[in-house]
Amino acid sequence: MSEPKDKALKLNVRLKPSESSAHPLATNYTNVGVAQGIAYVDFGFIEPTLLGAIAKTAKDGQVAPKGLEGHLVTRVAMGVDVLARLHQQIQQVLVSMRNAKQSKPKA
Instruction: Name the residue ranges covered by the structural domains of the chain.
Output: 25-102
Return phi, psi of residue 54, to 5°. -65, -40
Model pLDDT for residues 19-72, shown as the tens digit of each residue: 877 788 899 999 999 999 999 999 999 999 988 888 888 888 888 888 888 999
Residue 92 pLDDT > 90, yes or no?
A: yes
Tell me how far CA of residue 53 lies from CA of 5, 8, 63, 95, in angstroms.
Answer: 52, 46, 12, 32
Q: Which residues contact 72 (CB under 8 A, 6 or more apart)?
A: 42, 43, 44
Give pLDDT, residue 104.
75
Residues 6+ apart with CB under 8 A from 19: none
What is the pLDDT, as a whole number, of residue 7?
73
